[in-house]
Every structure is written in C-alpha cells, then in structure tokens.
C-alpha cells in the first residue's frame, strides 16, 4: 500500500469517529465555531456543495436541513472519494452555509456534540498554528494551576504529548473544565484575529489529497443521485422522503466534479 493511500485511509476512518473536547484541545485542534468563523470572515451563506452519504443515512440528512448541525462537503472531486468507509451510494447536492473551506482536505474531526474541529497537527507538524496554540495552552495551564505528572509547573508544553495534556485537563473539577474550554475558545479567537494568515496558509496546504473539504450547515437538499447503480428500494426511499431524484451518477463522474464558477 502506498503511503499516501495509507494516510488517506486513516483520515477517512477518523472522519467517522467522535472525540471529547479535552482530547481535541490536547491535540491543539481548532474549533470551527460558526459565530467565530463568521467574525473572521470565512462564512458564505449561499454556497452550493456536494455531500456523499448512503441511503440509510439520507433520512437523517433530511432531518438536519436548516439546522446548525455540521457536515463535511466538497466542490472538487478526487479519486480518494472511492475509499470512503461508510459505503456511500448517494450523492447529494446542497445549498446552504459554508463555515470554512480548504483547497484540499482540511482534516476535520467531530466532537461528541457534532461540532467540527481542525486537526491541524496531523499533516503539518511544527507550523505557525501549532506554535501559537502551544503558547495559548501554556498560559492556560499556568492560569488554572495545572501541573504535569512530574510536577514541573513551568514545563514547556510544546514537548508534552497529547495523552498527558488530556489527562491533566480531565483532572480538573467539572466546573473548572468548562471554564478552561471557554478560555481556550476565547484565546483561540483572539489569536486568529491576529494570525488570520496562519489559518489561511493552513487551509491551502493542509493536505495533498485531490478533493477539497467544506464544513457546511443550515443547508437544503436540492437533489440526490444514486452512485453507479440504483434499485427499487433506493428509488422508493428517495420518493418517500420527498426528495428530487436525478437518477444515476458514476463514481468516475464524481471524481471529475469541479467547483462551479
């Protein structure tokens, strides 16, 4: 197996897992809070995108119309989309709110409440985002008097691996954990207001995968298409959901999708 294929397969498996907030903070992830992204100028309220799913999940997608629930979408296809682990058989065209967009896959992870975060250390270790987020965490650990396992209070946090950081955050009382999360979000937005270019640079260089990733919400389903083949069961389910059925599209056609101008 080629390394690029291996990395992509690991990414696709991560995509369908959910993580608690202390883990996401410990890996220096960036929360994609819609209000924050809007203030930073990333939000587009009238975007058209594509989303891959399967017929079993189509009803859930319909239920999520016009809600804040976030999904991963794309406007540019690529051969890696053939290896999604969710056994996709439906392509959905959506119109709604783009929260943030990358030129390739931006390595988003989902927390336990369905919100998306950027795992910016996964592909680009040592970048400016990582450096500055380490600074944020260093200050927060001092503010909340969090000591490391070896009790070195002033230890350089950039050298501490995620599992120990998570353990230290989880050791806080619940009320302090909530305050810690809020302060992390506040500090992150303050930094991104100054380090806007650092985030833009990441979005342009996050990966070398062929397709792009857009975090999407508040959407409406324009139409659906079956991938490669259809069946009486699939067409009946689409009809029962009251969705527009555009017939069959091949995976080769999906791979060639390009962003509309």
pLDDT in tens, 126-181: 578 888 999 999 999 999 988 876 655 557 888 888 998 999 999 999 999 999 99
- Distance (Å) of CA 53 to CA 30, 60, 84: 25, 10, 10
Is the model's pLDDT at 204 over the cut of 70? yes
Q: Is the pTM here over 0.75, yes or no?
A: yes
Count CB neighbours of 41 within 10 A.
8
State mean pLDDT over 227-241: 96
Is the model's pLDDT at 10 over the cut of 90? no
- Tokens linked to 118: 């950027």
Domain spans of the chain? 3-255
- Tokens linked to 245: 């059925």
Secondary structure element (H or E) that encloses residue 214, with its range: strand 214-227
pLDDT digits (tens, 9 = 90+) for 21-72: 999 999 999 999 999 999 999 999 999 999 999 999 999 999 999 999 999 9
């Amino acid at each position: 197996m080629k390394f690029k294929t291996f990395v992509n397969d690991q990414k696709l498996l991560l995509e369908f897992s959910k993580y608690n907030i202390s883990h996401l903070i410990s890996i220096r992830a960036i929360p994609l809070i819609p209000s924050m992204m809007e203030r930073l100028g990333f939000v587009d309220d009238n975007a058209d995108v594509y989303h891959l799913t399967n017929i079993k999940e189509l009803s859930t997608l319909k239920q999520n119309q016009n809600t804040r629930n976030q999904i991963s979408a794309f406007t540019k296809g690529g051969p890696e989309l053939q290896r999604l682990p969710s056994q996709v058989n439906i392509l959905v065209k959506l119109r709604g709110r783009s929260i943030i967009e990358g030129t390739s896959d931006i390595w988003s992870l989902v927390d336990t409440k369905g919100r998306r975060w950027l795992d910016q250390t996964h592909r680009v270790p040592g970048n400016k985002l990582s450096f500055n987020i380490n600074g944020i965490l260093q200050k927060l650990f001092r503010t909340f008097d969090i000591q490391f396992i070896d009790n070195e209070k002033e230890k350089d946090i950039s050298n501490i691996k995620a599992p120990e950081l998570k353990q230290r955050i989880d050791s806080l009382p619940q009320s302090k954990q909530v305050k810690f999360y809020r302060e992390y979000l506040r500090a992150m937005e303050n930094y991104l207001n100054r380090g806007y270019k650092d985030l833009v640079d990441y979005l342009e260089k996050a990966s070398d995968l062929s397709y792009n990733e857009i975090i999407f919400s508040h959407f409406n389903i324009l139409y659906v298409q079956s991938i490669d083949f259809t069946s009486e069961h699939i067409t009946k389910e689409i009809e029962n959901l009251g969705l527009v059925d555009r017939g069959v599209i091949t995976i080769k056609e999906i791979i060639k999708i390009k962003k509309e101008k």
